Structure 1
């Protein structure tokens, strides 16, 4: 695929692999001053997003934030979408990276010559049990060297809003937005009952009857809580 002059190729099932594991990749290359994101779209195709910065290098990221070091600055990108990651596992570790544009003097250079191949810049997904590559991504043009790579779990199609385009003028965020919950207790002298209230983004604000939990979903203006009828109070 071609992304504004950046041509790359990938293994046939690489986008599906990203989708199944609900993750994206971010990498830097100070050779071309790029921060790039690799993800999968709803159409099942690979999605590439890039931003130009002054010598982007080290990365650290998780579901909520991405930190990037450049020539003179440290950037913090915040995830403005709510992510749900069911597992808390290390996806990949123990990676090494080659930051030199030449293979001179390395054993890899001899192996490539014996195979009639030439050095290529890209990323590979390695099965740690077998040591074999299962997916790959190659940069055919422009990028010859990568500096750092991070996995962004719980993020399917990552993008970074630029400072010079129209996107940042239309972006509105609400601090501490997302899902939240609290418990409330009703009672008299002898009986009490406890229920949970979940506040989320949506349209339904009417609770049901019975002992099940009710969700409060805010709309524009004032919202009223109608928690339904609690049919039974249990002694504490």
Structure 2
């Protein structure tokens, strides 16, 4: 359950302990305390958006909106190893431990909702079983196909009606498809309806070779030309194309910034106190996911020194960055059982989203039909 510790009133909707259908764990999740800025509900309403974010560490999908009382609503559902996320007003896609789930909205958007009830209700309709591919970022191409970062096999892939996946693209330095997570390919930027850029922790071509290249050697690659734009980043994640610029999270330094396509130079725009993963944009703002650095994999990075210099502790949560100033204007902080997030999405035109989960009888009884 969610402990309601906050600087503003929080409404929460959670499910109970997990089951084998959605999680390998059989015990109740540890409690989570969520706090946020008092102005966050107004920011969501002014911008006419809601948010979604995932935590693979605890298998959680959160939908964030504003309820009938004008309070923040945190709607939580359990999905084992919830990672890659893409969302729009009618559909949410989430990659999980061994499947890609498609949630469909069953609430009529033109029903004249006045804010008294949730204006979107997402129900899991289709699951594509891929096996454990360690799927990271996902996107939907112009032709409707789902494309995703197949991290275990160091490639981009699409869904196959018969097999676990179909190869779409692999980096030029990867000599073969193998379940070895050679370079830790992790992020994907869509542009004009196709994958345009990807991030990888290194250009290693041996099993788990990226782990020795965490501090530097992070790559940003042009999918269309195979050109490596830079390999001087530190564990980069979540490349995104926004308003004519290529943005990326330089996670090993805690910075969000842009990449000069011609020179490969990284220009930092803001520092966020955590290991950064998950990036979305709306109306001149970046919505950034933060995780607490994990011992081992995330240790020994420049982020450690930057936090010490600022006399700061790392966060787990979501921060909203004003791109014009680099200031953090709103934030959500999670403490307790959730320490790591992966992806963040903006749902435009939606005030109060909810979803049906797998762990109670709601999924058995919530039946809708087409006229």
TM-score class normalised by the smaller sequence: 0.5 to 0.7
**Does residue 128 of the first structure (1) align with residue 323 of the second (2)?**
yes
Q: For 2:96, which of 51, 57, 70 is the aligned residue?
A: 70
Larger RCO (CA within 8 A; separation ≥ 6) = 1
Distance between the aligned counterparts of 2:299 and 2:357, measured in 1? 38
Counterpart in the other structure of 2:150 = none
Q: Does 1:59 align with 2:85?
A: yes
Give the aligned partner of residue 11 of structure 1: 37
1:22 is aligned, of 32, 48, 52, to 48
Taking the aligned partners of 1:68 and 1:58, their CA distance within structure 2 comes to 6
Specify which structure has the higher proportion of strand. Answer: 2
Tell me which structure has the larger Cα radius of gyration: 1
| 1:164-221 Cα distance to aligned partner (Å, 9 max, x none) | 423234423233x7xxxxxxxxxxxxxxxxxxxxxxxxxxxxxxxxxxxxxxxxxxxx
Match of 1:155 among 343, 350, 354: 350
Aligned mates of 1:33, 1:165 — CA distance in 2: 16
Conserved in 2, the CA contact under 8 Å of 1:66 and 1:77? yes
Q: Give deviations 1:73-117, integer Å, cap 9, x for gaps.
A: 111101112337xxxxxxx94353347525533333223212322
Contact 1:83 1:154 in 2 (8 A): no
Residue number in structure 1 paired with 2:309: 114
Mapped to 2, the partners of 1:15 and 1:131 lie a distance apart of 21
Q: How many residues align?
A: 171
Are 1:165 and 2:191 matched, yes or no? Answer: no
Q: Secondary structure at the match of 1:140?
A: strand
TM-score between the two structures when normalised by the length of structure 1: 0.64
Paired residue for 1:101? 294
- Please give the root-mean-square deviation of Cα atoms over the aligned residues, in Å: 2.6
Could you list the structure 1 runs, at least 4 aligned residues long, displaced by more than 6 angstroms after superposition: none
Structure 2 CA distance for aligned equivalents of residues 173 and 154 of structure 1? 23
Q: Distance in 2 between matches of 1:54 and 1:165?
A: 16
Q: Which residue of 2 aligns with 1:224?
A: none
Unaligned stretches of 5+ residues in structure 2 = 6-11, 15-30, 111-240, 250-275, 278-290
Q: Tell me the SS of whatever aligns to 2:304.
A: helix
